[in-house]
Amino acid sequence: MLAGFTDNIRTYFTGRDSAYVFKRADSIKQTKVESINLYIHIPFCNNLCPYCPYFKVKYDPRKIPAYVDAMLKEIDMYHKLFGKIDISSIYIGGGTPTLLIDELNAIFKSLSEKFSIKGDICIETNPDDVTEELVSKLKNNNVALVSVGAQSFLGKHLQFIGRNYSPSVIDSAMTELIKANFKSINIDLLFALPKQSEEDVIYDLEKAIDSGVNQVTTYPLFTFPYTSVGRYLKLKHVKMPNLATRHKQYYRIYKLLTNKGFNRVSVWGFKKGDVPRYSSVTRDNYIGLGAGAGSHLPDGFYLNTFSVDEYAKRCLSNKFPVALYMNFTENMQKYFWLYWRFYDTHISKDELQNRFGSSDEKLNRLLFIFRKLKLLYENDANFELTMRGSFWIHLLQNFFSLRYIDKVWSVAMKEAYPSEIVL
């Protein structure tokens, strides 16, 4: 019932002529690009956490050389397609990308030769991978922003989510990162875990704040059906917190962090001070490198094959490793942009005017309803989500986007080159 409701919302705003279909693709279309962001996906991971929804494979050193060589080929193909364009930012995710910290040297070298790097380099890591040596290598590679997937400072919750390190490991990792003086350090924490009390949530937040991080990002436990956490929950009959508990924990997080001087920068993220924001999902256009990476280009959205072996095979044959493509109409592009601005929790009035004009009845009706429901308020420059609005938007996006991601990922992880996926 809820699925049909969200599909109807999607159709209402973007039109019935919008085809939400990923179709088989073999290459990237030639399109005009002057400046773009870059995402690098390193799927290899030693610790395949059962709750993690992202494409990952068990770390196998035998596969690394071919994977890196393939990525260098992919970089070269994009250079030939677009020329020496500006790269506004580089985000490296996984998996655990710092497992390939030495191999990233060659990738950074190639990127700097083929493109003009204008923005910061951001990378994800896990606490048990952080050492003085790793931090030194990150600094030598000009990494400016780091995110640590701590998830909890309590052993009982680390054990539940499949993390095989102790809370003291997180403390040590944060000490090493803080003293290295990166531009910004983000820490990821989970809430709404089974049997997680409000006191547990507050303990994690206070530990994170005391560590000296600039940003705290909190997530509810994702339960994608295709991940092992979905199977785990069914097998173990673990009862997840209900909506009321999730609501109460979210409000406590919101109030504690804002009272501690952190400013809201997304429905889940809070940043302190005048430092760059760490974010992986709100870039408008980007090229995705690596198996399972997506690219959002002016003409639409592309997905690389999820097969590590097929990715390497395609790239080393001088062919783009794309498997799927979805065309974006002009209306889809506008509302895709708006969707992520709601995630940001603030929407620039000037940019909204530039993209939609002043006479878009559907948009004006949406903003009117949000204000009436006290989900949104406005000031001179922006529309801003209230605390109430942030919670409900995060809940809606949790269902809305993750349902579509689940549909695509479930097929793409089984088939290297699916013929079609209808959303």
pLDDT at 187: 97
Of 328, 334, 340, whose CA–CA distance to 401 is shortest?
340
pLDDT at 409: 82
Question: What separation in angstroms does the CA of 351 have from each of 230, 337, 338, 358, 399?
Answer: 39, 10, 10, 11, 27
The residue whose two tokens read 């290295």 is: 180
pLDDT at 284: 78
pLDDT at 330: 85
pLDDT at 229: 46
pLDDT at 235: 42
* Strand bridging mode 184-191 / 86-94: unpaired
User: DSSP label at 383?
Assistant: E
Full set of structural domains in the chain with CATH: 1-18+330-423 (1.10.10), 28-271 (3.20.20.70)
Task: Count the neighbouring beta carbons within 10 Å of the beta carbon of residue 333.
Answer: 18
Non-local (6+) Cβ contacts of 378 within 8 A are: 349, 371, 384
pLDDT at 39: 96
pLDDT at 50: 62
Of 48, 99, 57, 50, whose CA–CA distance to 291 is shortest?
57
pLDDT at 163: 85
Peptide bond into 95 cis (omega under 30): yes
The pTM (predicted TM-score) of the whole model is 0.91
pLDDT tens readout for residues 224-250:
555 544 554 554 545 666 888 889 999
Tokens of residue 11, six digits = 């159709």
pLDDT at 2: 54
Cβ neighbourhood burial of 111 (10 Å; 0-12, 13-18, 19+): buried
pLDDT at 101: 94
pLDDT at 423: 82
Instruction: Decide if 255 contacts 241 (C-beta within 8 A).
Output: no
Q: Which residues of the chain carry a pLDDT beneath 50?
A: 228-229, 232, 235, 237
